[in-house]
Amino acid sequence: MRNLAGKISVIIIVSLFLTLAETAGFCSGAILPVSVFAAAEESIEFRDVRKSDWYYEDLQYILKDKRKIFAGYPDGTFRPDETLTVDMFIKLILTIMGHNLENGREYWASTYIEKAVEEGIIIPWQDIHLTFRTNDDPYAGYKRPISRGDMALIAGRAVDRIIAQPEYRDQIAVSSLIKDYHSIPSTIKASVVRFYDLGILTGFPDGEFKAGNYLSRAEAVAVIRRIIDPSARKRPELPVAINPTPTPVPVSELNRPPKKDLGNGVVEVEGIRFDPETDVVNKSNGAMGILKAEEFVGVFLKYLKFYEHEGKARVRGYIPELPEGYKWAIAIHCYTKEPTELNSYESIFTNSDNEIPEYNLPYNGNTFDMPLYTNKEKIESVSLVFEVETEKGISGGRIFISLNLNRYSRYDSEGGHSLVTDFDPRGFFEW
Protein backbone atom coordinates (compact mmCIF):
# COMPACT_ATOMS: atom_id res chain seq x y z
CA MET A 1 0.00 0.00 0.00
CA ARG A 2 2.82 2.40 0.85
CA ASN A 3 4.54 1.74 -2.50
CA LEU A 4 1.26 2.28 -4.33
CA ALA A 5 0.76 5.61 -2.59
CA GLY A 6 4.28 6.68 -3.58
CA LYS A 7 3.64 5.87 -7.22
CA ILE A 8 0.36 7.78 -7.22
CA SER A 9 2.15 10.79 -5.73
CA VAL A 10 4.77 10.72 -8.47
CA ILE A 11 2.07 10.58 -11.18
CA ILE A 12 0.25 13.55 -9.67
CA ILE A 13 3.43 15.61 -9.44
CA VAL A 14 4.42 14.70 -13.01
CA SER A 15 1.05 15.93 -14.27
CA LEU A 16 1.42 19.21 -12.41
CA PHE A 17 4.92 19.89 -13.72
CA LEU A 18 4.37 18.93 -17.38
CA THR A 19 1.59 21.29 -18.45
CA LEU A 20 3.52 22.52 -21.50
CA ALA A 21 4.29 19.09 -22.91
CA GLU A 22 1.65 18.88 -25.56
CA THR A 23 2.21 22.39 -26.99
CA ALA A 24 6.00 22.30 -27.00
CA GLY A 25 6.30 18.67 -28.08
CA PHE A 26 8.81 17.59 -25.47
CA CYS A 27 7.98 19.33 -22.22
CA SER A 28 9.44 22.71 -22.94
CA GLY A 29 10.04 23.70 -19.37
CA ALA A 30 8.69 21.23 -16.91
CA ILE A 31 10.80 18.53 -15.31
CA LEU A 32 10.55 16.57 -12.12
CA PRO A 33 12.62 18.07 -9.30
CA VAL A 34 15.31 15.84 -7.83
CA SER A 35 13.51 15.93 -4.47
CA VAL A 36 10.64 13.94 -5.96
CA PHE A 37 12.94 11.06 -6.75
CA ALA A 38 14.43 11.17 -3.29
CA ALA A 39 11.00 10.63 -1.79
CA ALA A 40 9.85 8.04 -4.29
CA GLU A 41 11.51 5.01 -5.80
CA GLU A 42 14.98 5.10 -7.32
CA SER A 43 13.60 5.39 -10.85
CA ILE A 44 10.55 6.74 -12.62
CA GLU A 45 8.83 4.58 -15.19
CA PHE A 46 6.97 5.35 -18.41
CA ARG A 47 4.38 3.14 -20.10
CA ASP A 48 6.40 2.99 -23.31
CA VAL A 49 9.87 2.52 -21.76
CA ARG A 50 11.25 -0.84 -20.65
CA LYS A 51 14.18 -1.46 -18.36
CA SER A 52 15.75 -3.50 -21.15
CA ASP A 53 15.75 -0.54 -23.59
CA TRP A 54 19.25 0.56 -24.60
CA TYR A 55 18.71 4.16 -23.40
CA TYR A 56 17.01 3.31 -20.08
CA GLU A 57 19.93 4.08 -17.76
CA ASP A 58 20.68 7.29 -19.66
CA LEU A 59 17.08 8.39 -19.26
CA GLN A 60 17.08 7.77 -15.52
CA TYR A 61 20.28 9.77 -15.17
CA ILE A 62 18.88 12.70 -17.15
CA LEU A 63 15.57 12.76 -15.29
CA LYS A 64 17.35 13.12 -11.98
CA ASP A 65 19.54 16.04 -13.10
CA LYS A 66 18.86 19.24 -11.16
CA ARG A 67 18.90 21.34 -14.32
CA LYS A 68 15.58 19.85 -15.44
CA ILE A 69 16.86 18.84 -18.86
CA PHE A 70 14.29 16.35 -20.10
CA ALA A 71 10.90 14.93 -19.13
CA GLY A 72 8.04 12.74 -20.21
CA TYR A 73 4.44 13.53 -21.12
CA PRO A 74 1.39 13.93 -18.86
CA ASP A 75 -0.13 10.71 -20.21
CA GLY A 76 2.69 8.70 -18.63
CA THR A 77 4.66 8.15 -21.86
CA PHE A 78 8.13 9.20 -22.93
CA ARG A 79 7.78 8.60 -26.69
CA PRO A 80 11.40 7.58 -27.31
CA ASP A 81 11.02 7.16 -31.07
CA GLU A 82 9.53 10.59 -31.60
CA THR A 83 11.81 12.97 -33.47
CA LEU A 84 13.16 16.09 -31.82
CA THR A 85 12.84 19.46 -33.52
CA VAL A 86 15.61 22.02 -33.87
CA ASP A 87 14.14 24.35 -31.25
CA MET A 88 13.79 21.50 -28.76
CA PHE A 89 17.43 20.54 -29.12
CA ILE A 90 18.55 24.14 -28.81
CA LYS A 91 16.79 24.29 -25.45
CA LEU A 92 18.46 21.07 -24.30
CA ILE A 93 21.92 22.45 -25.09
CA LEU A 94 21.27 25.82 -23.47
CA THR A 95 19.90 24.10 -20.37
CA ILE A 96 23.00 22.00 -19.82
CA MET A 97 25.05 25.16 -20.39
CA GLY A 98 23.31 26.56 -17.32
CA HIS A 99 20.79 28.91 -18.94
CA ASN A 100 17.37 28.97 -17.27
CA LEU A 101 15.09 30.99 -19.54
CA GLU A 102 11.40 31.84 -19.61
CA ASN A 103 9.37 30.74 -22.62
CA GLY A 104 8.60 33.34 -25.27
CA ARG A 105 5.10 34.82 -25.39
CA GLU A 106 4.09 34.22 -29.00
CA TYR A 107 6.47 31.33 -29.67
CA TRP A 108 7.80 29.35 -26.76
CA ALA A 109 11.34 28.91 -28.17
CA SER A 110 11.96 32.54 -29.23
CA THR A 111 13.89 33.33 -26.03
CA TYR A 112 16.05 30.22 -26.47
CA ILE A 113 16.81 31.04 -30.10
CA GLU A 114 17.83 34.59 -29.18
CA LYS A 115 20.20 33.21 -26.53
CA ALA A 116 21.56 30.58 -28.95
CA VAL A 117 22.43 33.32 -31.46
CA GLU A 118 24.03 35.39 -28.69
CA GLU A 119 26.13 32.41 -27.59
CA GLY A 120 27.21 31.58 -31.14
CA ILE A 121 25.41 28.23 -31.08
CA ILE A 122 23.31 29.40 -34.01
CA ILE A 123 24.97 31.53 -36.69
CA PRO A 124 22.08 32.96 -38.76
CA TRP A 125 24.04 33.90 -41.89
CA GLN A 126 25.71 30.49 -41.94
CA ASP A 127 22.86 28.24 -40.77
CA ILE A 128 20.37 29.29 -43.43
CA HIS A 129 18.85 25.80 -43.54
CA LEU A 130 17.90 26.23 -39.87
CA THR A 131 17.01 29.90 -39.75
CA PHE A 132 14.83 30.18 -42.86
CA ARG A 133 11.41 31.75 -42.50
CA THR A 134 8.16 31.70 -44.43
CA ASN A 135 5.56 34.41 -45.00
CA ASP A 136 3.45 32.84 -42.29
CA ASP A 137 6.13 31.80 -39.80
CA PRO A 138 9.45 33.57 -39.04
CA TYR A 139 10.58 30.50 -37.05
CA ALA A 140 9.66 27.82 -39.59
CA GLY A 141 13.18 26.40 -39.83
CA TYR A 142 13.44 25.85 -36.08
CA LYS A 143 10.25 23.80 -35.96
CA ARG A 144 11.52 21.14 -38.36
CA PRO A 145 12.83 17.77 -37.14
CA ILE A 146 16.54 18.00 -36.37
CA SER A 147 18.95 15.76 -38.22
CA ARG A 148 21.87 14.02 -36.56
CA GLY A 149 24.16 16.29 -38.56
CA ASP A 150 22.54 19.48 -37.26
CA MET A 151 22.60 18.02 -33.76
CA ALA A 152 26.38 17.64 -34.05
CA LEU A 153 26.70 21.15 -35.51
CA ILE A 154 24.79 22.85 -32.68
CA ALA A 155 26.21 20.78 -29.83
CA GLY A 156 29.72 21.01 -31.27
CA ARG A 157 29.71 24.79 -30.95
CA ALA A 158 28.88 24.49 -27.29
CA VAL A 159 30.82 21.44 -26.18
CA ASP A 160 34.05 23.29 -25.30
CA ARG A 161 32.05 25.45 -22.88
CA ILE A 162 30.31 22.47 -21.31
CA ILE A 163 33.26 20.08 -21.03
CA ALA A 164 36.22 21.51 -19.16
CA GLN A 165 39.42 21.30 -21.22
CA PRO A 166 38.44 18.46 -23.58
CA GLU A 167 41.45 16.53 -24.84
CA TYR A 168 41.26 15.74 -28.54
CA ARG A 169 43.48 13.20 -30.25
CA ASP A 170 44.54 12.81 -33.88
CA GLN A 171 41.39 13.95 -35.69
CA ILE A 172 42.42 12.36 -38.98
CA ALA A 173 42.77 8.99 -37.25
CA VAL A 174 39.36 9.46 -35.61
CA SER A 175 37.73 10.32 -38.94
CA SER A 176 38.92 6.97 -40.35
CA LEU A 177 36.54 5.23 -37.90
CA ILE A 178 33.48 6.82 -39.54
CA LYS A 179 32.57 4.78 -42.61
CA ASP A 180 30.54 7.51 -44.32
CA TYR A 181 32.88 10.34 -43.30
CA HIS A 182 33.42 11.61 -46.85
CA SER A 183 29.68 12.00 -47.41
CA ILE A 184 29.22 14.12 -44.27
CA PRO A 185 28.80 17.85 -45.10
CA SER A 186 32.05 19.74 -44.55
CA THR A 187 30.31 22.24 -42.22
CA ILE A 188 29.71 19.55 -39.59
CA LYS A 189 32.69 17.23 -40.07
CA ALA A 190 34.73 18.92 -37.35
CA SER A 191 31.96 18.58 -34.75
CA VAL A 192 31.18 14.98 -35.68
CA VAL A 193 34.83 13.95 -35.41
CA ARG A 194 35.34 15.70 -32.06
CA PHE A 195 32.21 14.02 -30.69
CA TYR A 196 33.44 10.63 -31.87
CA ASP A 197 36.81 11.30 -30.30
CA LEU A 198 35.28 12.19 -26.91
CA GLY A 199 32.99 9.15 -27.01
CA ILE A 200 29.78 11.20 -27.17
CA LEU A 201 28.82 9.81 -30.58
CA THR A 202 29.31 6.20 -31.53
CA GLY A 203 27.46 5.89 -34.81
CA PHE A 204 25.43 2.94 -36.01
CA PRO A 205 26.41 -0.76 -35.95
CA ASP A 206 27.48 -0.53 -39.59
CA GLY A 207 30.03 2.16 -38.65
CA GLU A 208 28.21 5.02 -40.36
CA PHE A 209 27.13 8.31 -38.79
CA LYS A 210 24.10 8.88 -41.06
CA ALA A 211 24.05 12.65 -40.80
CA GLY A 212 20.74 12.94 -42.62
CA ASN A 213 18.78 10.75 -40.20
CA TYR A 214 16.48 12.51 -37.78
CA LEU A 215 17.40 12.54 -34.09
CA SER A 216 15.00 10.65 -31.83
CA ARG A 217 14.24 11.54 -28.23
CA ALA A 218 16.00 8.35 -27.11
CA GLU A 219 19.13 9.27 -29.07
CA ALA A 220 19.02 12.80 -27.66
CA VAL A 221 18.92 11.39 -24.14
CA ALA A 222 22.05 9.31 -24.80
CA VAL A 223 23.92 12.24 -26.37
CA ILE A 224 23.08 14.64 -23.55
CA ARG A 225 24.02 12.04 -20.94
CA ARG A 226 27.45 11.54 -22.51
CA ILE A 227 28.05 15.28 -22.74
CA ILE A 228 27.44 15.89 -19.04
CA ASP A 229 28.63 12.54 -17.64
CA PRO A 230 32.21 11.50 -18.53
CA SER A 231 31.63 7.97 -17.20
CA ALA A 232 29.01 7.33 -19.90
CA ARG A 233 31.26 8.18 -22.83
CA LYS A 234 32.50 5.44 -25.14
CA ARG A 235 35.82 6.69 -26.41
CA PRO A 236 37.08 4.58 -29.31
CA GLU A 237 40.52 3.08 -29.73
CA LEU A 238 42.41 4.70 -32.57
CA PRO A 239 43.85 2.56 -35.35
CA VAL A 240 47.59 2.08 -35.41
CA ALA A 241 49.13 3.85 -38.39
CA ILE A 242 50.84 1.43 -40.76
CA ASN A 243 53.06 4.16 -42.16
CA PRO A 244 53.56 6.71 -39.38
CA THR A 245 53.82 10.32 -40.51
CA PRO A 246 55.90 13.02 -38.84
CA THR A 247 54.56 14.42 -35.60
CA PRO A 248 54.79 18.02 -34.40
CA VAL A 249 57.83 19.03 -32.41
CA PRO A 250 56.84 19.23 -28.73
CA VAL A 251 56.28 22.80 -27.61
CA SER A 252 58.76 22.23 -24.76
CA GLU A 253 61.54 21.77 -27.34
CA LEU A 254 61.02 25.17 -28.98
CA ASN A 255 62.89 27.01 -26.22
CA ARG A 256 60.15 29.64 -25.91
CA PRO A 257 60.42 32.43 -23.31
CA PRO A 258 58.14 32.13 -20.26
CA LYS A 259 55.16 34.39 -19.72
CA LYS A 260 55.75 37.37 -17.43
CA ASP A 261 53.38 39.60 -15.50
CA LEU A 262 55.08 43.01 -15.48
CA GLY A 263 52.41 44.67 -13.32
CA ASN A 264 49.69 47.26 -14.00
CA GLY A 265 48.11 45.00 -16.62
CA VAL A 266 51.32 44.78 -18.65
CA VAL A 267 52.44 41.26 -19.67
CA GLU A 268 55.15 39.65 -21.72
CA VAL A 269 54.03 36.79 -23.97
CA GLU A 270 56.34 35.00 -26.43
CA GLY A 271 58.96 37.56 -25.41
CA ILE A 272 56.69 40.40 -26.63
CA ARG A 273 55.65 43.20 -24.28
CA PHE A 274 51.91 43.94 -24.36
CA ASP A 275 50.49 47.02 -22.63
CA PRO A 276 46.68 47.39 -22.89
CA GLU A 277 47.03 51.16 -22.52
CA THR A 278 49.21 51.59 -25.60
CA ASP A 279 48.69 48.42 -27.65
CA VAL A 280 44.89 48.42 -27.75
CA VAL A 281 43.80 50.83 -30.50
CA ASN A 282 40.09 50.82 -29.71
CA LYS A 283 39.19 50.78 -26.04
CA SER A 284 35.49 50.15 -26.79
CA ASN A 285 36.07 46.84 -28.60
CA GLY A 286 39.55 45.91 -27.34
CA ALA A 287 41.15 45.56 -30.79
CA MET A 288 44.91 45.00 -30.70
CA GLY A 289 46.97 47.42 -32.78
CA ILE A 290 48.17 46.04 -36.11
CA LEU A 291 51.82 46.77 -35.32
CA LYS A 292 51.65 44.78 -32.09
CA ALA A 293 49.81 41.95 -33.88
CA GLU A 294 52.62 42.03 -36.42
CA GLU A 295 55.12 41.14 -33.69
CA PHE A 296 53.19 37.97 -32.85
CA VAL A 297 52.96 37.11 -36.55
CA GLY A 298 56.75 37.28 -36.57
CA VAL A 299 56.86 34.49 -33.99
CA PHE A 300 54.61 32.34 -36.20
CA LEU A 301 56.87 32.91 -39.21
CA LYS A 302 59.92 31.97 -37.16
CA TYR A 303 58.77 28.34 -36.93
CA LEU A 304 56.91 27.94 -40.25
CA LYS A 305 58.44 25.43 -42.69
CA PHE A 306 57.22 23.74 -45.88
CA TYR A 307 59.05 20.49 -46.53
CA GLU A 308 58.87 17.13 -48.30
CA HIS A 309 58.34 13.73 -46.67
CA GLU A 310 58.12 10.48 -48.62
CA GLY A 311 57.41 12.38 -51.83
CA LYS A 312 54.60 14.46 -50.32
CA ALA A 313 54.54 18.13 -49.38
CA ARG A 314 53.89 19.05 -45.74
CA VAL A 315 53.82 22.13 -43.52
CA ARG A 316 54.85 22.42 -39.87
CA GLY A 317 54.89 25.24 -37.40
CA TYR A 318 53.83 26.71 -34.07
CA ILE A 319 50.75 28.75 -33.15
CA PRO A 320 52.11 31.44 -30.80
CA GLU A 321 50.47 32.24 -27.50
CA LEU A 322 48.66 35.56 -27.21
CA PRO A 323 47.80 37.83 -24.27
CA GLU A 324 44.69 36.83 -22.35
CA GLY A 325 41.49 37.78 -24.16
CA TYR A 326 42.92 37.35 -27.68
CA LYS A 327 42.89 34.54 -30.21
CA TRP A 328 44.27 33.83 -33.66
CA ALA A 329 42.49 33.79 -36.98
CA ILE A 330 45.05 32.09 -39.22
CA ALA A 331 44.72 30.69 -42.73
CA ILE A 332 47.33 28.93 -44.87
CA HIS A 333 46.13 28.88 -48.50
CA CYS A 334 47.66 26.32 -50.83
CA TYR A 335 46.64 26.37 -54.52
CA THR A 336 47.55 23.48 -56.83
CA LYS A 337 47.80 22.98 -60.59
CA GLU A 338 46.02 19.63 -60.36
CA PRO A 339 43.47 18.24 -57.84
CA THR A 340 44.88 17.15 -54.49
CA GLU A 341 44.20 13.81 -52.83
CA LEU A 342 41.12 15.49 -51.35
CA ASN A 343 39.93 16.44 -54.85
CA SER A 344 40.47 20.15 -54.37
CA TYR A 345 42.53 22.83 -56.11
CA GLU A 346 42.44 25.10 -53.06
CA SER A 347 43.34 23.82 -49.60
CA ILE A 348 42.81 26.26 -46.74
CA PHE A 349 44.29 25.31 -43.39
CA THR A 350 42.76 27.34 -40.55
CA ASN A 351 42.27 27.29 -36.79
CA SER A 352 38.53 27.83 -37.17
CA ASP A 353 36.30 25.69 -34.93
CA ASN A 354 34.26 24.70 -37.95
CA GLU A 355 37.13 23.60 -40.18
CA ILE A 356 37.22 19.96 -41.25
CA PRO A 357 39.92 17.83 -39.56
CA GLU A 358 42.05 17.61 -42.71
CA TYR A 359 42.52 21.37 -42.72
CA ASN A 360 42.28 22.17 -39.02
CA LEU A 361 45.16 24.03 -37.33
CA PRO A 362 45.50 23.80 -33.52
CA TYR A 363 44.79 26.49 -30.94
CA ASN A 364 47.22 28.97 -29.41
CA GLY A 365 50.34 27.44 -27.91
CA ASN A 366 50.42 24.26 -30.01
CA THR A 367 52.63 22.96 -32.79
CA PHE A 368 51.41 21.31 -35.98
CA ASP A 369 52.76 19.08 -38.73
CA MET A 370 50.28 18.52 -41.56
CA PRO A 371 50.15 17.04 -45.06
CA LEU A 372 49.28 19.29 -48.01
CA TYR A 373 47.77 16.27 -49.82
CA THR A 374 49.89 16.82 -52.91
CA ASN A 375 53.53 16.97 -53.97
CA LYS A 376 55.68 20.07 -54.29
CA GLU A 377 55.62 20.05 -58.12
CA LYS A 378 51.86 20.52 -58.18
CA ILE A 379 51.82 23.50 -55.82
CA GLU A 380 51.06 26.70 -57.69
CA SER A 381 50.98 29.24 -54.88
CA VAL A 382 50.99 29.58 -51.10
CA SER A 383 49.70 32.51 -49.08
CA LEU A 384 49.19 33.29 -45.39
CA VAL A 385 46.52 35.39 -43.68
CA PHE A 386 46.66 36.54 -40.04
CA GLU A 387 44.40 38.42 -37.65
CA VAL A 388 44.65 38.80 -33.88
CA GLU A 389 41.07 38.88 -32.64
CA THR A 390 39.35 39.50 -29.33
CA GLU A 391 37.24 36.69 -27.93
CA LYS A 392 34.28 38.32 -29.73
CA GLY A 393 36.08 38.22 -33.08
CA ILE A 394 37.17 41.87 -33.28
CA SER A 395 40.54 42.58 -34.91
CA GLY A 396 42.56 45.70 -35.55
CA GLY A 397 43.61 44.65 -39.02
CA ARG A 398 44.73 41.89 -41.35
CA ILE A 399 48.16 40.76 -42.54
CA PHE A 400 48.52 38.98 -45.90
CA ILE A 401 51.67 37.27 -47.18
CA SER A 402 52.10 35.70 -50.63
CA LEU A 403 55.09 33.36 -50.70
CA ASN A 404 55.03 32.91 -54.49
CA LEU A 405 54.53 36.60 -55.33
CA ASN A 406 57.02 37.66 -52.65
CA ARG A 407 54.53 40.19 -51.37
CA TYR A 408 53.63 41.36 -47.84
CA SER A 409 50.64 43.58 -47.14
CA ARG A 410 48.77 44.73 -44.09
CA TYR A 411 45.50 46.53 -43.60
CA ASP A 412 44.98 48.53 -40.42
CA SER A 413 41.24 48.83 -39.77
CA GLU A 414 41.92 51.78 -37.45
CA GLY A 415 43.99 53.50 -40.14
CA GLY A 416 47.50 54.81 -40.36
CA HIS A 417 49.66 51.73 -40.84
CA SER A 418 48.53 50.04 -44.05
CA LEU A 419 51.19 49.13 -46.61
CA VAL A 420 52.30 46.78 -49.39
CA THR A 421 55.93 45.76 -49.61
CA ASP A 422 58.25 43.04 -50.89
CA PHE A 423 58.73 39.85 -48.88
CA ASP A 424 61.61 37.39 -48.99
CA PRO A 425 60.23 33.80 -48.92
CA ARG A 426 63.65 32.18 -48.60
CA GLY A 427 63.92 29.94 -45.56
CA PHE A 428 60.26 28.92 -45.56
CA PHE A 429 60.75 26.09 -48.07
CA GLU A 430 63.06 23.20 -47.29
CA TRP A 431 62.80 21.65 -50.75
Q: What is the pLDDT of residue 29?
A: 36
Write the DSSP assignment of 297-315 as a string of letters: HHHHHHH-EEEEETTEEEE
Q: Both 24 and 90 in a single domain?
A: yes
Kindly report the average pLDDT of the chain as a whole number. Answer: 88
Task: Assign 16 a pLDDT band (cuts: 50, 70, 90).
Answer: very low
Q: Both 95 and 39 in a single domain?
A: yes
Q: Both 361 and 394 in a single domain?
A: yes
Q: Is 362 helix (H, G, I), strand (E, B) or coil?
A: coil
Residue 378 per-residue DSSP state: G
Q: What is the pLDDT of residue 242?
A: 66
In sequence order, which residues have a C-beta less than 8 Å from that of residue 174 and are 6 or more positions away? 193, 196, 197, 236, 238, 357
pLDDT at 5 over 50: no
Task: Decide if 314 is inside a domain.
Answer: yes
* pLDDT, tens digit (0-9, with 9 covering 90-100), for 311-337: 999 999 999 999 999 999 999 999 999
Instruction: List the domain range (segments joined by +) for residue 408.
Output: 251-422
Q: What is the pLDDT of residue 203?
A: 87
Q: How far apart are CA 401 and CA 383, in angstroms?
A: 5
The total number of structural domains in the chain stands at 2
Q: Cα 192 to chain center, whole Å? A: 9
Q: How far apart are CA 47 and CA 78, in angstroms?
A: 8
Q: Both 287 and 401 in a single domain?
A: yes
* pLDDT, tens digit (0-9, with 9 covering 90-100), for 204-253: 999 999 999 999 999 999 999 999 999 999 999 998 866 678 989 999 99
Single residue among 198, 232, 266 that ends a domain in this structure: 232
Q: What is the 3-state secondary structure (H, E, C) of 201-268?
A: CCCCCCCCCCCCCECEHHHHHHHHHHHHCHHHCCCCCCCCCCCCCCCCCCHHHHCCCCCEEEECCEEE
Pairs from 294-300 (Cβ < 8 Å, separation ≥ 24) = 294/399, 294/410, 296/270, 296/272, 296/320, 296/322, 296/388, 297/386, 297/399, 299/270, 299/271, 299/272, 300/330, 300/386
Greater confidence (151 vs 417) lies with 151
Q: Both 190 and 336 in a single domain?
A: no
Cβ proximity of 51 and 109 under 8 Å: no
Q: How far apart are CA 346 and CA 335, in angstroms?
A: 5
Q: Both 213 and 305 in a single domain?
A: no
pLDDT at 23 over 50: no
Task: Decide if 246 is inside a domain.
Answer: no
Q: Both 274 and 200 in a single domain?
A: no
Q: Is 389 helix (H, G, I), strand (E, B) or coil?
A: strand
Q: Both 109 and 20 in a single domain?
A: yes
Residues 330-365, buried b or exposed e (16+ Cβ, 10 A)?
Answer: bbbbbbbeeebeeebeebebbbeebbbbbbbbbebe
Single residue among 205, 232, 259 that ends a domain in this structure: 232
Task: Decide if 245 is inside a domain.
Answer: no
Question: How many residues are present in the chain?
Answer: 431
Q: Both 195 and 327 in a single domain?
A: no
Q: Both 7 and 128 in a single domain?
A: yes
